[in-house]
Amino acid sequence: MLELIQFDSVPTPSTASFIVYGGNAGAKEAVIYDNGIWMIKHPKTTRDLINPQISYTTSPLSEFLGSKIYACMNIPVHETILGTRKNKIVVACKDFTFGSSQKITEMSVPILRLVPFHDLKNSFMSNDVDEYSGTGSETLIDEVLATINKQENLISIPGVLERFWDMFVIDAFIGNNDRNNGNWGILVNMWPDTFPHELPTPQLAPVYDNGNAFFNKRSVKQMQKRLNDDDILNDAYNIECAYKYTGLDNEGHKINPFEFIKGGSHQACTDAGFRFINAVDMAKIEAVINDIPDHAGTLAVMPKIQKEFYIKLLKARFTLIKNALNERL
C-alpha cells in the first residue's frame, strides 16, 4: 500500500518568492525534498461553486493518479508524490525546470525555462486559417494544429504533433478537460554556458497539470449513486476536451473526444489512438488505483467506492476509444 509523505516539516527554499506557479487549480508552493525542488499543490476550495457536495476538490489526487496513468502509457510526465500538508491531501510535483545535474540548495534557481504552448501560439501568425485569432489562449483546433505544424520553435523539435495527439487521447481516457494552451509546452536552457550539457536544444516538457481529471469536484456519495452501468457509460462519454471545432457550423463548440476520434478527420489522432490501445495495461492501472490507501490518519484519501467508480469509468472509456477506432478499420 502506498505510504503518503508528510510534508509539513520539509523546508521552503529561500528563493521561494521568485518561484511562482500559475494556474487556478489551488494554492501552490515550492519546497525542498529529496534533493529537488517540488511544487506542492493544495486542493482548491469549492465555496464559489453552486451547491458543492465537498468542501475541497480532489485535484491533488487527480493530479497524482492522472500522472501515474501517463507514466503507464510510457509518456514522459512530471514526477508526483501523494502526501499531506496542513491537514489536507496534497500532491508534490517535481519541478523539472531545475536541472537533473543541479545541486539543490536553499538558494537554487531554475536553469531551464518552461515555454507554454500558449506563448508559442501567441507569437505565431497564420494565413492558413480563416479569421485566425492571433491569440495564445484560443483553442480552436485548426489554429492549434497550424501552430504545431508551422511555428518555427516547434517544427525544430521532433514529436510535437505526436505528443499533442497522445495527450488528446489519454486526457479523454482520464477525463481531463483542461489541457488548455498553458498546460503543455517546451523547455529551453537559460544558462547554456553554466550548464552546457543539461539541455543542448529545446525539447518537449514532460506532461504536467492533470488535476482536472476524474471528476475532481464530485463527492464519494455522488460516485456511489452512479455506479450502475448506464450512469457509468453516460459519465464516461459525456465529456468535453479543451479544444473547439472550427468552421461556420461548429466554431466555438467544445469537442467530444470520442466523437472526434471516431470521425477520423486527422490520421495523427487515429495513430495516437492505436498507440494508446496497444500501450494500455488495465491490470497495471487498477493496481495503481488500488495501491492508494483509503485513509491517511483521519483524512480520507481514496475510499473503496471511489476506486470502484474510477476503475469502471476507465474501463468504459477504454471501450469507447476502442470502438471509435474500430470505425477506422
Residues 317, 321, 327, 329, Cα dihedral to 10°: -140
Q: Which three cell numbers stand for residue 49?
A: 461553486
Alpha-carbon gap, residue 165 to 159, rounded angstroms: 10
For the chain, the domains span 5-100+109-326
Question: Could you tell me the pLDDT band of residue 46, with boundaries at 50, 70 and 90?
Answer: confident
* Segment 101-113, tens digit of pLDDT: 788 888 888 889 9
Q: What is the pLDDT of residue 149?
A: 93
Report the percentage of the chain scoring pLDDT > 70: 91
User: Which region among 47-56, 73-82, 87-96, 301-310 has the lowest average model confidence (pLDDT)?
Assistant: 47-56
Q: What is the pLDDT of residue 48?
A: 65
Rounded to the nearest 5 degrees, what angle is found at the Cα of 100, between the Cα atoms of 155 and 122? Answer: 30
Q: What is the pLDDT of residue 103?
A: 84
The structural architecture, per CATH, of the domain 5-100+109-326 is: Orthogonal Bundle (1.10)
User: Which region among 13-27, 87-101, 162-176, 272-286 has the lowest average model confidence (pLDDT)?
Assistant: 13-27
* Segment 209-258, tens digit of pLDDT: 999 999 999 999 999 999 999 999 999 999 999 999 875 555 568 999 99
Asked if residues 26 and 42 have their Cβ atoms less than 8 Å apart, the reply is yes
Report the percentage of the chain scoring pLDDT > 90: 72
* Segment 121-164, tens digit of pLDDT: 988 866 666 557 778 999 999 899 999 999 989 999 999 999 99
Mean of the pLDDT values across residues 279-293? 98
Query: pTM of the full predicted structure?
Result: 0.94
Alpha-carbon gap, residue 224 to 221, rounded angstroms: 5
Q: What is the pLDDT of residue 240?
A: 95
Residues 257, 263, 266, 270, Cα dihedral to 10°: 70
Mean of the pLDDT values across residues 198-211? 92
Concatenating the DSSP letter of every residue in 255-313 gives PPHHHHHHHT--HHHHHHHHHHHHH--HHHHHHHHHTS-SEETTEE---HHHHHHHHHH
In the predicted structure, residue 17 carries a pLDDT above the cut 80: no
Q: What is the pLDDT of residue 201?
A: 85
